[in-house]
Chains A and B, each alone.
Chain A
Amino acid sequence: MKLNVDERWNLIEKISKKTVTFGKYQHTLKDAVGELTVKPLTGIPIAVAILYGFWSIFGSFAGTLCTDGFFVKIFDGHFLPFMQKVFTGLPKWLYYIFVGDPLADNCFEAFGVLTSGLFLAIGVVLPAIFIFYLMLALLEDIGYMPRLAVLIDTVLHKIGLHGYAIVPTILGLGCNVPAVTATRILETRKQRFIAMTIMAIFIPCGAQLGIMEEVIPDTIGLVLLYLITGYFIFGFILNKMLPGRSPEILIDVPPYQMPTRRNVVRKLRMRITSFFKVAIPFVLLGCALVNVLYLAGVIEWLGNVLAPVFIGWFGVPKETVGPLIAAFLRKDLAVAQLSAIEMTKYQMIMAVVLVSIYFPCVATFAMMLREGWRELLGALATLVVTVFLYGGLMHLIGIVLGVA
């Protein structure tokens, strides 16, 4: 049976009269609160408060309770002396690789595969990642993340992205590996490239944040400020330089709801499992490789060769070469290594920022390669330019302010 246009409209009207209930919708408190969280004037203060809560709980749980409260005690007081005793008979070089410095009295300074490596992975990174992903899962399930995407949409358009780019960015604060995959929610190649590149350079992962909280608790705010500023400056530049489109999006904002335990547990389990499959092997491998390079004298040689660049251009001591090499395997490991080098407060901030922006860790590198070798090469070129420009600029600011 064929219907003409009028007949079709008549049929639609008949069906809608039978099936649709018309009336005045009354806003509920949930709706009104939901609206408040997406309007910039009210939504930004709420976002500031939620970030505060996120950061405060992260620090209290991972830093104060787990790492400082129990794991430092377990590893420094019991595990390190035990390992030092058990491995006493080993050849010196093997002892150095597995247990580290025989005079060390804490796992931060030992740098052995089985001492610092395990301490970092289990004592520092695990609690940090656990609480980070737990809070993220709660915010997702409550329905806050799409609202944050709407709220930040205008700002992210300035750097060629749109609101949903906040999802990979926040995921990157946990681990850059799933975050690189999450950039696939962006529509165009240009958007994906910008998101992936500035995230790999400027977003510190949860493990790194956990270590920073331990090693530089007083200056972590400044480090993050440098990184966030760099994120937007270089995003803006990339957006202007790269060809391609940055289309608008329509975001479906669901109502606020109570998170379900099943959902949260499932997300948490999935993310922590995948993180651990990547993290533990790389932390241990990183420790071993850096120790071998130290033993072979490669780090010292590199330090001497690169000293003019490190001291002159970046304003950091040449000893930071070792941690920068370790950063390729694990950035958290590199930050921990930096803590053992004697530096001024300014140099420490510079060195931590450099470790963050210098190179994506090898796991992120592998993920980026999966997205395409052109993207990877482009990201690496951007990275080299960024490290030299931004590192040099920060040093210049330090000189002008008289702190360098």
Chain B
Amino acid sequence: MQTSNYTSTERRSGVNKNKFGRVYFGILGVVTLFFGIMDLVATLRGESITWGILEIPGDIFPGGWGGLIVLFAGLFYLAGIRNFFQIHQFSKVVMGSILVWIMAGCDIFAWITESIPGGEEGPWLNPWGNFLGTFAPPYTPAIFLLPFSLVVIYFIYQRRRT
């Protein structure tokens, strides 16, 4: 029986309650996997792919290497949705989110480091307008995935409560 995989705490918390989590991270996993594959395709083609405000970089770093990590994140999500609330399965979902956070965190850090200096010919610090301009679209897939990956914090909190 499937429920035998759960500890008493997990059973008490109610497995059915997490159907939402399974569906949510299943969809997120598929989308993440798709982005990862597109990243690798863009790297193989050697050209960036742009759809509106989404840009998938076509170089090896960050494109190819990053794409591989996004792909792994998608696989972690998908591997973790079966028996979602069982701790070892849930940890895979958490790890999928951590990989997305690493990617998105690096992108955001790169923006910040680019946005502060004023450039070779400009002033020491970037004027306010240029500073904000650095954060304008297009964005990488990891940035789009970031808010959706944060939902895992709710589930971690929920586990702690139970």
- Determine, out of A46-54, A316-324, A355-363, A396-404, the stretch whose residues face the partner at the interface: A46-54
Partner of A26, one of B7, B60, B62, B106: B7
- A 327-353 to B, binary, CB cutoff 8 A, 1 in contact else 0: 000000000000000000000000000
Name A50-78 residues within 8 Å CB distance of B: 50, 52-53, 55-57, 60-61, 64-65, 68-70, 72-73
In the complex, number of A-B residue pairs with CB atoms less than 8 Å apart: 92
- The answer to whether B103 touches A29, judged by C-beta atoms less than 8 angstroms apart, is no
Distance between Cα atoms of A45 and B73 in the complex (Å): 9
Tell whether A57 pairs with B106 under 8 Å between CB atoms, given A42-B95, A69-B113.
yes
Q: How many residues of A contact B (CB 8 A)?
A: 30
- The answer to whether B88 touches A35, judged by C-beta atoms less than 8 angstroms apart, is yes
Name B56-75 residues within 8 Å CB distance of A: 60-62, 65-66, 68-69, 72, 75
The smallest C-beta distance from A398 to any residue of chain B, in angstroms, reads: 20
Distance between Cα atoms of A64 and B116 in the complex (Å): 10
Distance between Cα atoms of A69 and B61 in the complex (Å): 21
- The answer to whether B69 touches A64, judged by C-beta atoms less than 8 angstroms apart, is no
Chain B binding surface SS class = helix
Give B69's nearest chain A residue, CB to CB.
Answer: A49
Partner of B66, one of A33, A52, A64, A72: A52
Distance between Cα atoms of A56 and B109 in the complex (Å): 9
Residues of A within 8 A of B103 (CB): 49, 52
The smallest C-beta distance from A237 to any residue of chain B, in angstroms, reads: 29
The smallest C-beta distance from A143 to any residue of chain B, in angstroms, reads: 14
- The answer to whether A57 touches B117, judged by C-beta atoms less than 8 angstroms apart, is no
- B 128-160 to A, binary, CB cutoff 8 A, 1 in contact else 0: 000000000000000000000000000010010
Give A30's nearest chain B residue, CB to CB.
Answer: B91
- The answer to whether B95 touches A53, judged by C-beta atoms less than 8 angstroms apart, is no
Distance between Cα atoms of A31 and B69 in the complex (Å): 22
Partner of A52, one of B95, B102, B120: B102
Contact of A17 with B by CB under 8 A: no
- The answer to whether B91 touches A64, judged by C-beta atoms less than 8 angstroms apart, is no
| 12 cross-chain CB contacts under 8 A | A26-B7, A32-B90, A45-B72, A45-B99, A49-B72, A49-B102, A60-B109, A61-B113, A65-B113, A65-B117, A68-B117, A70-B117
